[in-house]
Amino acid sequence: MESLDGKVAWITGAGSGIGRACAVAFARAGARVALTGRRLPPLEETAVLTGAPAGDVVIAPADVSDAAAVAAAHAKIVAALGDPLVLVNSAGGNVKQRHWGNLAPASASEVIDLDLKAMFYCTLAALPAMRARGDGRIVHIASQAGVSLTPITGPSYMAAKHAVVALSRSLNAEEGIHGIRSSCLSPGEVETPILNTRPVPPTAEEGALMLQPEDVAEVALFCATLPRRAWVTELVLLPTDDRLVRAQAHAIETLVGAPLPPSLAKSFGSN
């Protein structure tokens, strides 16, 4: 595995959840970390949690759905730490009224701006220096909603995350010749503050069975430290006891040892 000692890792969405966990994990691996998010106080908390010396962490607040704000944050990071070798695109969000029956155009635009356009803006900012160096590692935090049908997340979120998968594939296809590697991590349910925007947030008991931000951060760190000849292009990380299929699993369990009725055989498959 390649060392990140002294290398610069730029993490968006660093004020909470997966972004915060990535900041802590990368700092502990020796990286100098740049923290971007909308609100300054949470970023300051993350900076403390990293345990990094003051000179090895920079806070660059920005609304990453704003291209000009991203450019300004990137310039601040480069001036303070140098060009990022690693970019972790972790910023994301959703809205409570997210389904076709109550989704407003402005809300759809808000979700797409944050969950898709922001990844373009940050990638475009970091890419020229990565190309010039001949080495760059980009980790996009997508979602299970980007690789399968998960109606609970709503159409805007699903559409954005599916597009992130395509964005990452395109980067690998065009930029691999320049030593740039893009990985798309698609976690299932993760216990983060974004769950509070659901129309019916999960209970604490349900959250405890979900992935934790640190789980995703460890996978992101693994990807970013692979030898240059190798890369994980896409990875789906799910909870062991996945709430989205739990009811089906229990239904199957009750039928063990008995032939499946035709209706269930059709739903679960005959093999």
Catalytically annotated residues:
157
Q: 3-class DSSP state for residue 69?
A: helix
| Among the listed residues 65, 49, 66, the one whose alpha carbon sits nearest the alpha carbon of residue 57 | 49
The helix (run of H) or strand (run of E) holding residue 131 is: helix 118-133
Q: CB 230: neighbour CB atoms within 10 A?
A: 8
Q: Measured between alpha carbons, how far is 52 from 67 in angstroms, rounded to an integer?
A: 28
Token pair, residue 132, equals 């010039």
Taking each helix axis from N to C end, the angle separating 213-224 and 17-28, rounded to the nearest 10 degrees, works out to: 50
Q: What are the backbone dihedrals phi and psi of residue 180, each rounded to the nearest 5 degrees, phi first?
A: -100, 130
Q: CB 153: neighbour CB atoms within 10 A?
A: 23
